[in-house]
Amino acid sequence: MHVACLDDLDSWLPWLQRASRSKGVETRFRLAERQLSDALFGVTQHPNEPTRWQIVLSRLADIEAVQVTGSGYKAGPIPKLRPEWVQAADDGSSEFRLALSLALQCRGFTREGLPIKGDTVRRHWLSLDGGRYATVGAGSQTRLQLAADCVMHGRNGLDDAIAVIDRRLVEAAQRGVRRLPLVAAYRAAAPIADIARFIAGELDVDRTLQLARALMALDKAAWSRSACPPRFIWRSEFPDDAWLLIRLTFLPWALPDGRSIGTDPAILRRLITGDAAAAVELARRRLQAAGITTPIRAATASTEIAKRWAAALAFPITRQAAGNLVKRLDPNNIKETKT
């Protein structure tokens, strides 16, 4: 039964309730705790309804959204959630699949499927479990100070997704790496068809990012042992070829055939400012330098679409999917895959 997933919250909820009743806590933290209690009651009455579980996840994300402002943070973040939460909350939607792909990615994985040095994207949302917060001030003036890598604010989904990419590129540059260091977790990559719907504006972006913030609490070690991927029915939808060209310049590894495409942070900057034409030109040059030629010579898009193109880079794809994108863009220029 899915209801067993609620056991993950048993030891945390009393701390949360205590924090909500403490002196000086913000009213919105009390409200968030009360709404979570209502959502938990609702899911116990209807444990087989994915929508109810997604409401719980959203309310959990609301708790953390208040904590990152400094209120109620002593209760701690959402505790580790077992992989079965994905099965319980899976409504078959593109939003849910994309949320999971964003939530579980990291710079790389060990052979056991664990994040390298625990480097997951959760640290871009909050870092209470990593000791990267500092309390400043004293007494009633005590407040929480976020670490520099906490770039998500929980107010706008597009901005949060872009902020993750921007921060990862900064960190990569500091290490002298010309790639986007974000790799999909085992059986949690983003389907290209779902990304196409995201770019087309067919999805609820804020809902996607809110679910992602809660799903970041999934137990990564347990997922590596017993992944519970969401349902997906294959569809042949693809984003604009111009975006595919850009996506290939933001990979964390070489292509299946061994060719490596360097990442240029200037491409993201152009997208953020709405200059899609310049972003496509820069990406085209990157692919050409890697020996990949495409029939695309120029492309334009509105400022809104350009921003979606940038945000869509936050959803990781597989290496095989990247190889398929090359075939789609340049079917006559395919090299044999290295073994």
Q: What is the predicted pLDDT for the residue at 132?
A: 39
pLDDT tens, per residue, the chain with 339 residues: 799 999 999 999 999 999 999 988 999 999 999 999 999 999 999 999 999 999 999 999 999 999 888 888 889 999 999 999 999 999 999 999 999 999 999 999 998 889 998 789 999 998 654 443 455 455 555 555 567 789 999 999 999 999 999 999 999 999 999 999 999 999 999 999 999 999 999 999 999 999 999 999 999 999 999 999 999 988 889 999 999 999 999 999 999 999 999 999 999 999 999 999 999 999 999 999 999 988 898 999 999 999 999 999 999 999 999 999 999 998 876 565 443
| CA-wise closest residue to 166 among 37, 86, 263 | 263
Q: Specify whether the CB–CB gap between 5 and 85 falls below 8 A.
A: yes
This prediction has a pTM of 0.93
